[in-house]
Amino acid sequence: NAGVMQNPRHLVRRRGQEARLRCSPMKGHSHVYWYRQLPEEGLKFMVYLQKENIIDESGMPKERFSAEFPKEGPSILRIQQVVRGDSAAYFCASSPEGGLNEKLFFGSGTQLSVL
Amino acid sequence: GDSVTQMEGPVTLSEEAFLTINCTYTATGYPSLFWYVQYPGEGLQLLLKATKADDKGSNKGFEATYRKETTSFHLEKGSVQVSDSAVYFCALRGSYQLTFGKGTKLSVIP
């Protein structure tokens, strides 16, 4: 049973370009969470999705950021018109259910570098 | 809102030394508490957890006890190994979100 798969591992973009980060949850998991880790910081919650639904996007910046988790295929975190401050490690986690004590399984992350 | 404060790193220890990484939290209600470990170039892995007061989580020789009276969840290990070198994150979960501390980098030297 493969773990949470994120790609690419490293993504380099120039200011103003778009970044697309992909996350394939573990098999059988229908809940996906995105977190961002800035240098020297802990992970910060961004968004929580179930299949075809955004449950909580309270941690997402109001502009330029969007996320989806379609019925088929991976979850996508999209950042439009990237700026240098978007440089960070972006982690995806999944769980089979959304309960408080559900264990989250994390991917290895995508390191986004904005030049 | 919820918050987690853990001791600043980096922490450097010799092999077989005793490890303590302090973690305190602020939360409403009764959160679950976690320690995650991040090895270089990898994602976070759950190390241990405790879901109610006085629970002790343990794994791979690491332990932490949920202390409601002091709102703490300190991580301990009696004898560290070089392979324990990693970044350790304390976290709480009051809803579906995890709230993380900033992480403590541990380096264990032979």
Residue in A with minimal Cα distance to B39: A108
Give the model's pLDDT for residue B64.
98
Distance separating alpha carbons of residues B75 and B20, to the nearest angstrom: 6
Nearest one of A2, A106, A3, A90 to A38, comparing CA atoms = A90
Distance separating alpha carbons of residues B8 and B101, to the nearest angstrom: 10
Give the model's pLDDT for residue A78.
98
What letter represents residue B80's amino acid? Answer: V
DSSP designation for B28: S
* Neighbour-count burial of A22, counting CB atoms closer than 10 A to its CB (0-12 exposed, 13-18 middle, 19+ buried): middle
Q: Test A42 with B46 for CB contact under 8 angstroms.
A: no
- Cα of B100 to nearest chain A Cα, Å: 6
Residue in B with minimal Cα distance to A58: B97
Give the model's pLDDT for residue A100.
60
* Neighbour-count burial of A90, counting CB atoms closer than 10 A to its CB (0-12 exposed, 13-18 middle, 19+ buried): buried
Q: Quick one: pLDDT band at residue B17, thresholds 50, 70, 90?
A: very high
Q: Is A39 on the interface with B (CB under 8 A)?
A: no
DSSP designation for A29: -
- Cα of A50 to nearest chain B Cα, Å: 12
Give the model's pLDDT for residue A97.
78
Q: Is B102 on the interface with A (CB under 8 A)?
A: yes
pLDDT in tens, A33-86: 999 998 877 889 999 999 999 999 999 999 999 999 999 999 999 999 999 999
Chain mean position to CA A19 = 12
- Cα of A16 to nearest chain B Cα, Å: 27
Let me know: does A79 contact A87? Beta carbons within 8 Å: no
pLDDT in tens, B47-86: 999 999 999 999 999 999 999 999 999 999 999 999 999 9
Average model confidence (pLDDT) for chain B?
93
Contacts of A36 in chain B (CB under 8 A): none
Q: How many Cα atoms occupy the beta-carbon half-sphere of B57 within 13 Å?
A: 21
pLDDT in tens, B22-32: 999 999 888 99
Give the model's pLDDT for residue A35.
95
